[in-house]
Amino acid sequence: MWLDRMSGHSTPSGPQIDSRSNSPLPRRPTSRLSPYAQNSRSQPSRPGSSLSNLLTPSDSTTSLSATQRADDTALKQFPAKARPSNVADPLDVLNDIIGKRKEKLAGAESPVLSSTLKTKPSQLVAGIDFGGLSLEEFVTKPDEPRRAKYSDVGAQTIQQFEKERDKFQDLHSAITGCDDVSRSVEKYLNDFQTELGAVSAEIETLQTRSIQLNAMLANRRNVEQLLGPAVEEISISPNAVRLIVEGPIDENWVKALNEIESRAATIEAKVTSPSSAKSVEDVRPLLSDIKKKAVERIRDYLVSQIRALRSPNINAQIIQQQRLVKFKDLYSYLCKAHPTLAGEITQAYINTMRWYYLSHFTRYLQALEKIKVYPSDRNEVLGGDPSAPKSGNFVPGGRAGAAAHDPFSLGRRIEILRTGNHMAISSYVAEEDTSFHGIEVPFRNFNLALMDNVSAEYSFMTEMFSTLSFQQISRKATEIFDPVFALGQGLTKRLVEHTTDSLGVLICVRLNQQAAFELQRRKVPVADAYINGVNIRLWPRFQVIMDLHCESLKRVASHTGRSAVSALSLAGGDDLNQSSAPHFLTQRFGQLLHGILVLSSEAGDDEPVSNSLSRLAAEFDSLLAKLSRIGGDAKRRERFLFNNYSLILTIISDTHGKLATEQKRHLDDMLKSVGKRG
Three-state SS for 81-94 is CCCCCCCCCHHHHH
Task: Kindly state the average pLDDT of the residues 352-362.
Answer: 96
DSSP 278-315: HHHHHHHHHHHHHHHHHHHHHHHHHHHHHHHTTSTT--
> 594 and 509 share a domain?
no
pLDDT > 60? residue 388: no
> CA dist 309 to 230, 295, 302, 317, 365, Å?
46, 22, 11, 10, 21
* Residue 168 resides in a domain: no
CB atoms within 10 A of CB 354: 16
Burial of 350 (0-12, 13-18, 19+ CB in 10 A): middle
> 331 and 410 share a domain?
no
Give the pTM.
0.65
pLDDT band with cut points at 50, 70 and 90 for residue 249: very high
* Residue 209 resides in a domain: no
Query: Which residue among 160, 194, 209 closes a domain?
Result: 160
- Domains: count for the chain: 4
> 451 and 591 share a domain?
no
> 106 and 251 share a domain?
no
- Range with top average pLDDT, 14-18, 399-403, 431-435: 431-435
* Residue 223 resides in a domain: no
Q: CA nearest 328: which of 474, 478, 468?
A: 468
pLDDT > 60? residue 94: yes
pLDDT band with cut points at 50, 70 and 90 for residue 47: very low
* Residue 169 resides in a domain: no
Residues 6+ apart with CB under 8 A from 71: 22, 90
Paired with 126 in beta bridges are 36
> 367 and 424 share a domain?
yes
> 315 and 414 share a domain?
no
> 619 and 503 share a domain?
no
> 606 and 647 share a domain?
yes
* Residue 36 resides in a domain: yes
Query: Which residue among 127, 160, 193 closes a domain?
Result: 160
> 110 and 63 share a domain?
yes
> 294 and 359 share a domain?
no
Query: Which bin fits 313, alpha (ψ -120 to 50), beta or left (φ > 0)?
Result: left
Report how far residue 655's alpha carbon sits from residue 606's, in angstroms, rounded to the nearest whole number. 20
- What was the pLDDT predicted at 225? 84
Query: Which residue among 558, 593, 616 closes a domain?
Result: 558
Domain range spanning residue 493?
338-558
* Residue 165 resides in a domain: no
> 451 and 498 share a domain?
yes
* Residue 674 resides in a domain: yes
> 351 and 493 share a domain?
yes
* Residue 176 resides in a domain: no
pLDDT band with cut points at 50, 70 and 90 for residue 606: confident
